[in-house]
C-alpha cells in the first residue's frame, strides 16, 4: 500500500508529465494522444512507473518503445519543471495501460452472452 507521501508525489508527477507530453510529446509521437492514467512511485521516491494510454495509434508496442527510448529526455524535462519541489528526479519507466481494451473486451463478451438464447432449466419442470 502506498503512503500519503507516495500518492501525493505520484499526483505531482502525473500532472507534470501530462504537461510534458501535451507540449512536447508530438516531437517523438506525432499525431498520437498520450494519456497518463496512473503513476506508481517507490517508497524512496527514486523510481516511478508511469502507465500510459494511447489514442490514434495502431501499434501501442511501438509507441511505448518509442517513449521508453526517450525516457532520459522526458526525465530531464520533468526535472526542469519540478526541480524546486524534489531532491531527486525519479527514474521513469513507462508501461502500456490496457485497462480500456480489457473493459471493451469484457463488454463485448457480456453483450455476446446477453444475445444468446436462454436455455430452460430441465430441473425446474
Please give the Cα distance from 122 to 119 (Å, whole number): 9
Query: Tens-digit pLDDT profile for the chain (125 aa)?
Result: 889 999 999 999 999 999 999 998 888 888 888 999 999 999 999 999 999 988 888 888 899 999 999 999 999 999 999 989 888 899 999 999 877 777 778 888 888 888 877 766 555 55
User: Domain span at residue 109?
Assistant: 4-115
Query: What's the grid cell of residue 107?
Result: 463488454
| pLDDT for 125 | 52
Please give the Cα distance from 103 to 88 (Å, whole number): 36
Nearest CA-CA partner of 55 in 74, 31, 39: 31
Q: Is residue 104 part of a domain?
A: yes
Q: Is residue 88 part of a domain?
A: yes
Number of domains in the chain: 1
Q: Is residue 72 part of a domain?
A: yes
Q: Is residue 81 part of a domain?
A: yes
CATH code at position 69: 3.30.300.20
Query: What's the grid cell of residue 24?
Result: 512536447
Q: Is residue 98 part of a domain?
A: yes
| pLDDT for 28 | 87
Q: Is residue 71 part of a domain?
A: yes
Nearest CA-CA partner of 79 in 17, 34, 3, 32: 17
Please give the Cα distance from 21 to 28 (Å, whole number): 10
| pLDDT for 123 | 54
Q: Is residue 60 part of a domain?
A: yes
| pLDDT for 4 | 94
Burial of 1 (0-12, 13-18, 19+ CB in 10 A): exposed
Question: Which of helix, strand or coil describes residue 58?
Answer: coil
Amino acid at each position: 500500500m502506498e503512503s500519503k507521501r507516495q500518492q501525493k508525489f505520484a499526483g505531482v508527477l502525473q500532472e507534470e508529465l501530462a504537461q510534458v507530453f501535451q507540449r512536447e510529446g508530438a516531437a517523438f509521437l506525432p499525431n498520437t494522444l498520450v494519456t497518463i492514467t496512473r503513476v506508481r512511485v517507490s517508497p524512496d521516491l527514486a523510481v516511478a512507473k508511469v502507465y500510459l494510454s494511447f489514442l490514434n495509434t495502431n501499434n501501442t508496442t511501438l509507441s511505448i518503445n518509442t517513449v521508453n527510448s526517450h525516457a532520459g529526455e522526458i526525465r530531464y524535462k520533468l526535472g526542469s519543471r519540478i526541480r524546486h519541489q524534489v531532491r531527486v528526479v525519479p527514474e521513469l519507466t513507462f508501461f502500456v495501460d490496457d485497462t480500456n481494451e480489457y473493459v471493451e473486451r469484457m463488454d463485448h463478451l457480456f453483450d455476446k452472452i446477453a444475445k444468446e438464447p436462454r436455455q430452460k432449466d430441465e430441473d425446474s419442470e
